[in-house]
Structure 1
Amino acid sequence: MMATLVSSIGQGTGLNITDMVSALVTADTAAKKAQITRQTSNNTAMISGVGSLRSALTAFQDAMKKLNDSSAPSFNAYAAKSANEAVVKVTSGNTAVAGSYSIVVNQLATGSKVASQAFAGGSTSAISAGELTVSQGANSWKVNVASGATLESVRDQINKELGVQGVSANIINGEGGARLVLSSTTTGAGSDLSVSGISELAIDGTTKMTGTGAGYITDLAKDAELTIDGLTVTSSKNTIDNAISGMKLELTGVSASATSATQITVEADNTGLQTSIQAFVDAYNTLQKTITSLTTTSRDSDDNLVLGPLTNDPTTRSLLGDIRKVLSEVGAGDQLTSLSQLGINTTKDGTLEFNTTKFTTAMNDKKLGAEVQELFTGTNGIFERMNKAIDPYNATDGSLATRKANLDKIAKNLADQQTALDRRTESLTESLTKKFVAMDTAVAKLNAQADQIKSVFDALEAQAKNS
């Protein structure tokens, strides 16, 4: 901008005005500029450091959550296997006992499926208005059918109002006309559906459907029936907990015959425990290495000390102290109360090491496998205490979130200061340039006047010499 006002070299003074103005402006603003640059660099590094720390904490908590997933539990002391998962699947809990079991599934638990009388007019047949009652065992639900209803609209109304109860309706067009068919996700004997209140839709769910009349389709709802080592077990559901202590059975099919038993075996799962423990150790070490990288000092190529973005940060030091405290605390177990008993110890750099030889001894000789799950995932276990230690820092309203918000405010303030400094630099440059241009113009005029005066005296001197 200033280049359009004046050339670099003054016409009157011969001075480089641009360089002079730049030097004066720099002298006036350099200290403030350096301060803003330094503070911005430090603040940006801290924002990045806090972000990296929060990401590492979140990853660690996610890893613990995965290891504590109730649908796929880790740290089980035993593993169960089924020889035929087309008949029965099995999951062992931490209270299972090593052994082998023979299972024969004679019958799966079934739900109720009933049908109304046949309507020759099809799915658009008119249905009388009234209060339809759908009953199942001790439960009953009311459906108010308005005038002008059809078989289709009643179907839709049942699905909308009773779907949450596990009751669904559809229309099947067969010989003799269309039928409203109701089915339930509830299984077990005595869970048969019945319908009353509107005569043409009445269904006795305990009576078999014949001809064009209403009733149950194929069979009544039934319990599952099976034998475990020859002992008879019945269940209203196909998922059975603790029919064998510490195990969950999921019945998936009927055995080929009463002599076609499926073998279930339960064995100590030291390999699975070791894998889960190693996953925890790896997740913790990843967090520890991230914290170390953010807080450790180093030397650059010129041997100058370089600080990490969170070096000497009190919040980070406090966090590290809190999570390390969890590792050293004594748990509430019977025999197993500390990580060191499993061969897990803290090294000099803060990471964990896992001695698998000591772990194997604890499993085989000291029989600590059944207590590993409680140590990690039980009430007041390592995961619960670790999350309690981390949440005050990493929660949405935690101290690190507050820290980030404050650093963002500082960044905004520094940006505003830089904008103000840029305006001052521009204003000062323009002001000084105008002043130097004015001075140079004045000098140029004086030089021109001096040249004129000199020309007059030179002319007088020349006349004097000629006369």
Structure 2
Amino acid sequence: MGISSVGIGSGLDVQGIISKLVALEKSPLTTLEAKATIVQSKISAYGEIKSLMTTLSDAAGVLSRDSGWNAMTLSSSSSAVGATVTGIASASSFSVGVSQLAQSQSTVSGVVAANTDMSGTIAIQLGSWTTTPGVPPTPTAFTADPTKTEIKIVIPANTTSLAAVAAKINDAGAGVTATVISDASGDRLMIRSSSTGEVSGFKITAPTGAGLEADEPEASAGLKALTFDPENAATGTTMTQAAQNAKATINGVSVSSATNELKSVIPGVALQLTQVTTSDALVTVKADTATIKKNIQAFVDAYNAVNTLLGDATKYDDTAKTAGILQGDSATVGLQNMLRRMITSTSMGDTLTRLSDVGITMQQGGNLSIETLTTAQKALGRVDLDTALAGDLTVLKQLFAGTDGDATSKGIAVKIKTFASDLLALDGGITAKQDALDSEIERNDEEQDKVNNRATLLEARLTKTYSALDAKMATLTALSDYVTQQVAQWNKKD
């Protein structure tokens, strides 16, 4: 196949002609691409609006729920008593005296000589001891805990390691922990109940006869020395600490607990006892106004972020002579107007019905500002947020979280939360707007494809036409050259 180029035969700039005609056919792309850029900018703007509205919805949600107003702070006058909030607590104060801390039982054996045979079977039963106070205390009578089963532990034959005995006890899950203590005199076995409280005491026995199963050998003398049953048998193991409950008084009322944390004595409050007190500690529960103020500030900031974005997107800049990407967009303008109406609306509060009643005012441009009043301004009867927080919180809560009345008279945060949730729903206004813009982009892409396809077909058609014309012109040129040559030859003969 020969090599050909359109235009060689005719001498015309055929490629240039075709390029210009195709470019003319593609000229609508400039408008379509510019429009697509604008729509993409609108999609980005609505994505940012959706994000900021989500933040506003979350901030309003905090203020519209009871949990947003029930936060409490606790303080104690003594390090001996700590306090934490565990649920819904009421503002109050109470005195706490600690006369006894909860503790577990602890025993320690005598020194165990090296290579002592400690094989056999021991049994551990949890319960409570009656003791005679002293250092160490003297146990006199044991009462088994009926909810706990006696645990038997078999120490294998030829066991001479105290550490091996401790490991067997720890693996048995008997409610105690065994530890080997070593000093200059030798090794001892310390056993401590795993829990605190008077019923966490234990005794350790060495069953014999009918008390043993066929696969349970009788304890060796070395193992028997580790038992603790002073009510019935004397051993070298002694009690170093008796299991006991914590004992305290709350406003003079005696309370007892198996642990050093009192969880259910005061609704919504847990007390942590760390020391015996010589004088009562004062524990104070009061509203956490700092957190509430922080939540209100977050709500104001979230609203201002949305309002600023909507304002910038819809305004016209006289200086730069440029319009915001969403100027004239009815959905955006409507959203901004609706938010402003709700934020300045009234609620069913008693003395506080508008945000301005607590010093939250709208500035030029629509943003909110939290005022801080001077003493002189307060003396004139004006109220700011700090004053409202220091007063009756139920009144301030009603302004934001009130649910009485119809939709127009509910709390400001309730209105905003309801509106934002509807707007952000799958069938809400923002989703509908985003879907409409996505559809516009799809149609634009389809129009661009149509223009490109028409241009491609036109280019192919023009190339074919001009190729045929070029070939014809080449033939005619050749014929013309031939005729001219023949005429020249004839003229020479003459």
Shift of 1:413: 3.1
User: What does residue 17 of structure 1 align with?
Assistant: 14
8 Å CA contact 1:335, 1:368 repeated in 2: no
8 Å CA contact 1:88, 1:249 repeated in 2: no
The one-letter code of the counterpart of 1:19 is: G
Q: Percent identity?
A: 25
User: What does residue 419 of structure 2 align with?
Assistant: 389
User: What does residue 55 of structure 1 align with?
Assistant: 51
The one-letter code of the counterpart of 2:270 is: E
Q: In 1, Cα distance between the equivalents of 2:394 and 2:491?
A: 123
Q: In 1, Cα distance between the equivalents of 2:368 and 2:354?
A: 14
Shift of 1:21: 0.9
The equivalences for 1:73-84 within 5 A come to 73=68, 79-84=73-78
| Alpha-carbon distance change, 299 to 276 in structure 1, aligned in 2, over 3 angstroms | same
User: What does residue 452 of structure 1 align with?
Assistant: 482
User: What does residue 119 of structure 1 align with?
Assistant: 152
Aligned with 1:344 (options 360, 384, 397): 360
2:327 counterpart of 1:306: no
| Alpha-carbon distance change, 232 to 378 in structure 1, aligned in 2, over 3 angstroms | farther
2:277 counterpart of 1:281: no
Q: In 2, Cα distance between the equivalents of 1:409 and 1:109?
A: 70
8 Å CA contact 1:75, 1:276 repeated in 2: no
Shift of 1:101: 3.9
Bigger Rg, which one: 2
User: What does residue 376 of structure 1 align with?
Assistant: 400
User: What does residue 185 of structure 2 align with?
Assistant: none
Q: Deviations over 1:34-83 (max 9, x none)?
A: 44324422321222122111111112223344567877x4586x754223
2:91 counterpart of 1:96: yes
Q: In 2, Cα distance between the equivalents of 1:298 and 1:364?
A: 40
The one-letter code of the counterpart of 1:253 is: L
SS at match of 2:97: strand
8 Å CA contact 1:121, 1:178 repeated in 2: no
Q: Deviations over 1:309-362 (max 9, x none)?
A: x32323323333333333233223332222111101112311111111154487
User: What does residue 81 of structure 2 align with?
Assistant: 87
The one-letter code of the counterpart of 2:150 is: Q
Q: In 1, Cα distance between the equivalents of 2:424 and 2:273?
A: 47
The one-letter code of the counterpart of 1:48 is: S
The equivalences for 1:61-460 within 5 A come to 61-65=57-61, 73=68, 79-84=73-78, 87-91=81-85, 96=91, 101-106=94-99, 115-120=148-153, 173-174=168-169, 178=172, 226-232=248-254, 238-240=262-264, 248-257=268-277, 259-265=278-284, 273-298=292-317, 303=321, 305-308=322-325, 310-357=326-373, 359-360=383-384, 363=387, 367-379=391-403, 380-460=410-490
TM-score (norm 1): 0.65
8 Å CA contact 2:52, 2:306 repeated in 1: yes
The one-letter code of the counterpart of 1:81 is: S
The one-letter code of the counterpart of 1:411 is: I
SS at match of 2:282: strand
Aligned residue pair count: 376
User: What does residue 205 of structure 1 align with?
Assistant: none
| Alpha-carbon distance change, 361 to 349 in structure 1, aligned in 2, over 3 angstroms | closer
User: What does residue 6 of structure 1 align with?
Assistant: 5
The one-letter code of the counterpart of 2:358 is: L
| Alpha-carbon distance change, 317 to 254 in structure 1, aligned in 2, over 3 angstroms | same
| Alpha-carbon distance change, 365 to 316 in structure 1, aligned in 2, over 3 angstroms | closer
The one-letter code of the counterpart of 1:49 is: A
2:23 counterpart of 1:26: yes
Q: In 2, Cα distance between the equivalents of 1:337 and 1:115?
A: 61
Q: In 2, Cα distance between the equivalents of 1:5 and 1:89?
A: 95
SS at match of 1:356: coil
The one-letter code of the counterpart of 1:117 is: E
SS at match of 2:340: helix
Q: In 1, Cα distance between the equivalents of 2:62 and 2:89?
A: 17
SS at match of 1:54: helix
The one-letter code of the counterpart of 1:316 is: T
Q: In 1, Cα distance between the equivalents of 2:269 and 2:364?
A: 47
Q: Deviations over 1:414-458 (max 9, x none)?
A: 323323332222221121012112212211221221111111112
Q: In 1, Cα distance between the equivalents of 2:327 and 2:64?
A: 33
Cα RMSD, aligned residues only? 4.5
Which ranges in structure 2 are unaligned for 5 or more consecutive residues? 104-125, 128-146, 156-166, 177-195, 200-211, 213-227, 230-241, 374-381, 404-409
SS at match of 2:152: coil
| Alpha-carbon distance change, 418 to 115 in structure 1, aligned in 2, over 3 angstroms | same
Q: In 1, Cα distance between the equivalents of 2:254 and 2:101?
A: 14
8 Å CA contact 2:60, 2:414 repeated in 1: no
SS at match of 2:27: helix
Which ranges in structure 1 are unaligned for 5 or more consecutive residues? 123-171, 191-199, 201-209, 212-217
